[in-house]
Amino acid sequence: MSKKTRTFEEKLERIGEIVSQLERGNMGLQESIALFKEGSALTKECKRYLEKTELEIQKVIDESGSTEKFTA
Amino acid sequence: MGSASSELPEAVAKRVSEERIFSVGRLTRTIKETLESNSDLREIWVRGEISNLTYHLSGHVYFTLKDENSQIKCTMWKSNASNLKFKLASGGKTIVRGSVEVYEPRGEYQLIVKEAYEDGLGDLHKRFLLLKEKLSKEGLFAEEHKKRIPKFPKTIGVITSPTGAVFHDICNVISRRFPHVRILLVPAKVQGDDGAQSIVAAIHTANGIKEIDLIILARGGGSLEDLWCFNEESVARAVYSSEIPIVSGIGHETDFTIADFVSDKRAPTPSAAAEIIVPDAMRIETELQQYADKLVRGLQNFVSLRSERLDGLTIRLIRSMKYTAQNKSGGVKTMQGKLGSLDPTSVLKRGFSITLLGKQLVIDAKQVKRGDKLKTVLASGQISSEVE
């Protein structure tokens, strides 16, 4: 499982899977705890992403893609 | 009437009777009836150039339509003028539809215009249709070529004019809905002769910036000519070959450009494009909270289900142990009873006794002879006696 390369979207999807797996409740204790831990960690990561990522507006200034801060 | 005719000048009276002389009103009415009942003058299309244009405060529009030789006054009532898709302009070549009417107080005939269209767009429209058909045949609009639009883009490239309201509108919508992205303005000229070239260049530039995971191609509303660069083949091909998915938001809801057909998703306006491409952060946060709650509840359920089962098992275990113990203790009593019946002392209690000759049990009278000393063991105590 390459957790680090997961996008926000994939993380949300994975959390959804985990929740429904847990809700089905037909797994062993260790497996359930592992899922719970994974789910909680992903939820925290997503929340942190929303808290920490702020809107950033920039302007591309040449064809090579250099950018500068956009000022109206 | 006789007296009236007498007032007629002699030259007139000689040639016409009083009743055959028209009043101005009657003449005008006759002209009106003649013109307005002539089907050649009703619901006709007229081409000409606009002059003497007045947008009246009342909402009615007055103008003159003319060509090299003639002119006709035109009136467009407010109810029709409000449906105009463009602003009439002095000198503008125009095609109108309407009927000839006579305005009696002034004795003027005029064209009452119901619809008006910019003339000379026919060629553009033809080009549009031809290119649309060509690219459609080539499969540039095909659904299977549409790239997937990421639900949570991180960096959004916005190709539009750096001046004007469009970029601001887009930023505002994103800032309100999902202020957790990076917006990169990729400036382009979005009208005029070099517009197409500029848009193509911007699409290439955006594709060279690896962080961009979604492009918005946008322009505010305008006339068909204003939006024309989005109908150029070079733009269509650049949109098609973009590696990054493109959402188009060009003009108003009613404007469809070739770029809209090729893009991976068409939004009716620039703001709508911004609306479409980012999720609603509030909703995502609620969803995350619900997930967090469900995770905890899921685990709690897991534990409580199992602890209930454990409780149930414990109770059964204790019960079965007791049962076994009881069974076993019942067995012991039976054994004791059985053992008890083998114990000679209990037989003695029932009145039997044991007779001994010395240390030997006497169970046969032949064992003894007269004079033998016998010992009789009772349930309690013993008796000594002699055989007679």
CATH number, residue B26: 2.40.50.140
- Answer whether A1 touches B (CB < 8 Å): no
Query: Is A57 within 8 Å of B299 when comparing Cβ atoms?
Result: no
- Contacts of residue A47 in chain B, CB cutoff 8 Å? 285, 288
Say if the ipTM goes beyond 0.85: no
B275 and B252 housed in the same domain: yes
* pLDDT tens digits, one per residue of B143-200: 999 999 999 999 999 999 998 899 999 999 999 999 999 999 999 999 888 999 999 9
Query: Is B205 within 8 Å of A49 when comparing Cβ atoms?
Result: no
Can you read off the two tokens belonging to residue B184?
A: 């990169």
| pLDDT average, residue stretch B41-49 | 95
Q: Does residue B134 have a pLDDT over 60?
A: yes
Q: Does residue A72 have a pLDDT over 70?
A: no
> Rounded to an integer, what distance in angstroms lies between the CA atom of residue B45 and that of residue B123?
19
**How many domains, in total, are found in chain B?**
4
Question: Domain coordinates of chain A in residue numbers?
Answer: 3-69
The residue from B89, B120, B151 where one domain ends is B120
Q: Mind telling me how many Å the CA of B278 is from chain A's nearest CA? A: 12
B153 and B273 housed in the same domain: yes
* pLDDT tens digits, one per residue of B282-320: 999 999 999 999 888 888 887 887 788 888 888 888 888
- Assign B320 to helix, strand or coil: helix
Stretch 37-56 of chain A: residues touching chain B, C-beta under 8 Å: 39-40, 43, 46-47, 49-50, 53-56
B163 part of a folded domain: yes
B60 and B168 housed in the same domain: no
* pLDDT tens digits, one per residue of B101-112: 999 999 999 999
B155 and B227 housed in the same domain: yes
Can you read off the two tokens belonging to residue B371?
A: 């004079």
B149 and B264 housed in the same domain: yes
B156 and B59 housed in the same domain: no
- Answer whether B175 touches A (CB < 8 Å): yes
- Answer whether A25 touches B (CB < 8 Å): yes
Query: Is A36 within 8 Å of B295 when comparing Cβ atoms?
Result: yes
B25 and B147 housed in the same domain: no
B5 part of a folded domain: no
> Rounded to an integer, what distance in angstroms lies between the CA atom of residue B14 and that of residue B2?
14
Nearest-by-CA chain B residue for A54: B180
Which structural domain range is residue B103 located in? 18-120
Instruction: List, in order, residues 6 or more apart from B167 with CB less than 8 Å away.
Output: B158, B160, B161, B185, B218
For chains A and B, CB pairs below 8 A equal 108
Query: Rounded to 10 degrees, what is the CA torsion of B262, B267, B271, B274?
Result: -80
pLDDT bucket at B2, cuts 50 / 70 / 90: very low
> Rounded to an integer, what distance in angstroms lies between the CA atom of residue B197 and that of residue B79?
41
| pLDDT average, residue stretch B10-31 | 92
